């Protein structure tokens, strides 16, 4: 297995991405980026089977349009990691900013701690076997899963009393599912979202994601595998169907 190490210190993202692409082209299976400090667009549009370990703070749009690779960030992420991502995995050992997994269409994104506003906004699924998933270990801010058109968001709330305390959960949701640890107040739900009972079937569905989360962050899943979750789904697949009259 070919391993490539790149010192990203002081480097602009364009030459950095060029080096990453070059390494992937030359068959690298593991790329280590040291001293990353805010470089945006790491692995943007990248295809292939490679694991990129990012040591430092990754800038915005990590793994945007990415299809295939795995990015492991040892540090926090700026906004929108996994933006319009198609496939592959992002694992963040830390927290991430706003619009995490924006329009993500495939692959998995694990955040150890917290995410900002509009997490999982407009995630969507169009093929049965390609379900995008966002798993957050800690808490999320407002507008979680807004306009969601498929996929799965899980907020585990580890160490949190109320993992989602802000409004607008699932506004305009018309596909997919949001699962939040514990109770969620009704008034926090956005227009077009409704609660659904979280039972054994749902638990079975989320179990592999929770287990994978725990594997990435080296924790024990057993305390998380019960039915103490709130499940939020679309009230309709046509949230705006009744909004208009014809001229």
244 interacts with another protein by CB under 8 A = yes
Only one residue has tokens 């309709």, namely 236
Q: How far apart are CA 145 and CA 126, in angstroms?
A: 17
Contact track, another protein, 48-87, x by CB under 8 A = ------------xx--xxxx-----------xx--xx-x-
Of 53, 93, 102, 216, the residue at the interface with another protein (CB under 8 A) is 102
Question: Which DSSP state fits 136?
Answer: E
Q: Are 201 and 177 in contact (CB under 8 A)?
A: no
Stretch that binds another protein, among 39-47, 48-56, 161-169, 181-189 (CB under 8 A): 39-47
Residues sharing a CB contact under 8 Å with residue 66, sequence separation 6 or more, in sequence order = 43, 44, 45, 46, 47, 82, 85, 86, 87, 88, 90, 107
Residues sharing a CB contact under 8 Å with residue 63, sequence separation 6 or more, in sequence order = 42, 43, 44, 46, 69, 71, 81, 82, 83, 85, 88, 90
Please report, as residue ranges, which positions from 177 to 236 form the binding site for another protein (by CB under 8 A).
Answer: none
Provide, rounded to whole angstroms, the least separation between the CB of residue 164 and another protein.
18
Provide, rounded to whole angstroms, the least separation between the CB of residue 70 and another protein.
16
Of 21, 141, 167, 194, the residue at the interface with another protein (CB under 8 A) is 21
Only one residue has tokens 């700026």, namely 78
129 interacts with another protein by CB under 8 A = no
Where on the chain is the footprint of another protein (CB under 8 A)? 13-14, 17-18, 21, 40-41, 44-45, 47, 60-61, 64-67, 79-80, 83-84, 86, 99, 102-103, 105, 118, 121-122, 124-126, 146-147, 149-150, 172, 174-175, 237-247
């Amino acid at each position: 297995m070919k391993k490539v190490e790149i010192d990203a210190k002081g480097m602009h993202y364009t030459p950095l991405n060029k080096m990453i692409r070059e390494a992937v082209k030359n068959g690298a299976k593991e790329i280590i980026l040291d001293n990353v400090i805010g470089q945006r667009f790491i692995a943007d549009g990248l295809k292939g089977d490679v694991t990129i370990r990012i040591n430092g703070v990754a800038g915005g749009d990590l793994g945007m349009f990415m299809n295939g690779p795995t990015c492991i960030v040892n540090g926090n992420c700026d906004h929108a990691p996994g933006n319009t991502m198609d496939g592959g995995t992002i694992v963040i050992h830390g927290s991430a900013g706003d619009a995490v997994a924006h329009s993500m269409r495939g692959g998995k994104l694990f955040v150890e701690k917290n995410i900002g506003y509009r997490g999982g906004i407009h995630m969507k699924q169009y093929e049965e076997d390609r379900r995008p998933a966002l798993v957050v270990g800690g808490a999320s801010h407002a507008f979680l899963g807004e306009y969601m058109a498929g996929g799965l968001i899980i907020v585990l709330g580890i160490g949190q009393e109320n993992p989602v305390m802000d409004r607008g959960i699932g506004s305009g949701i018309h596909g997919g599912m949001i699962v939040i640890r514990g109770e969620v107040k009704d008034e926090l739900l956005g227009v077009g979202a409704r609660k659904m009972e979280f039972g054994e079937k749902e638990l079975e569905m989320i179990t592999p994601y929770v287990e994978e989360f725990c594997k990435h962050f080296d924790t024990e899943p057993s305390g998380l595998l019960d039915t103490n979750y709130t499940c939020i789904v679309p009230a309709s697949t046509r949230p705006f169907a009744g909004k208009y009259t014809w001229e």
